[in-house]
Amino acid sequence: VLAYAFQAFFKKSRPLQMPDITYSFYPSYCKLFSIDYRTFPLADTFEIDIDLVPDNAGGMVIANPNAPTGIGMGLDLIEKILQKNTESLVLIDEAYIDFGGETAIPLIDKYPNLLVVQTVSKSRALAGLRVGLAIGNKELIRALEDVKDSFNAYPLDTLAIAGASAAFDDRESFAKNTRKVIATRERIAKKLTELDFYVVPSSANFLMAQHKTYLAEDLYLKLKENGILIRYFDMPRINNFVRISIGTDEDMDTLCRCLTTIL
């Protein structure tokens, strides 16, 4: 869905805009599809500062919650971004929305240039199906279908459709699983704080954290030696942070024990 959206909406005379800390696939899509893009800086807190968001860009793509920070945006901020960009598409990528974020879907009727995309890969744990969805006005969806049909009119097989549909129907399991991830995330955030980490507030299924004295790359390598994989970003502004995905309670307890030994 993201690839179709980039091809359908973002080849403009003005560059596409995105935060300077964001999902790494966005720049990759721009390079793949020859789309000119620019970035605008997040605040020191890694939140979006509306005064730094460009006016009337050639398009806007924002992950909410952000990847890799996990920080979520409220609808009031999303509306301000839409009001600054009335002539081009604003794409809100809600891959992690079910872990505590606020969906922008209620704004679709008010803003015809808003496209919301979601996936079954995260909160519904069906990444192998490769199923995504887009929510927007009829004209936007028709434009996506035109791009889709020019490449592959049937990108989803019947098993993927059946699996995704069943996942949406099983609301009880979905709610139980997301509540569990959120509870574990909050427990581990507290534990990391006790271990002298600064933990970025997260509305996703991961935590981004910085230790007060231990360098992020060294911590990443030390945990790897112990068979534990976390994410290290060799990127400006976040090169002393690590990202820790939320697993089972047993996995997270193993991580905490290892961190206690290392630190």
Return the pLDDT at 152. Answer: 77
Amino acid at 89: L
Return the pLDDT at 155. Answer: 83
Contact indicator for 20, 40 with CB cutoff of 8 Å? yes
CATH number, span 2-169: 3.40.640.10
Cβ-based neighbours of 132, under 8 Å, separated by 6 or more: 1, 2, 117, 118, 119, 120, 121
Return the pLDDT at 138. Answer: 96
Return the pLDDT at 13. Answer: 86
**What is the radius of gyration, based on Cα positions, of the chain?**
19
Cβ-based neighbours of 13, under 8 Å, separated by 6 or more: 58
Return the pLDDT at 190. Answer: 98
Q: Low-confidence residues of the chain, pLDDT below 50?
A: none
Contact indicator for 245, 188 with CB cutoff of 8 Å? no
Return the pLDDT at 56. Answer: 86
Show the tokens assigned to 20.
């300077």
Three-state secondary structure call for residue 68: coil
Contact indicator for 73, 62 with CB cutoff of 8 Å? yes
Which residues of the chain form CATH 3.40.640.10? 2-169
Which residues of the chain form CATH 3.90.1150.10? 172-262
Q: Regarding beta strands 90-93 and 60-63, do their DSSP bridges make them parallel or antiparallel, or are they unpaired? A: parallel
- Taking Cα atoms as reference points, which of 111, 104, 105 lies closest to residue 139? 111
Task: Tokens 């028709």: give the residue.
Answer: 142
87-132 pLDDT per residue, tens: 999 999 999 999 999 999 999 999 999 999 999 999 998 999 999 9
The CA-to-CA distance between both ends of the chain, in Å, stands at 42
In words, the CATH class of domain 172-262 is alpha beta
Return the pLDDT at 153. Answer: 76
Return the pLDDT at 93. Answer: 98
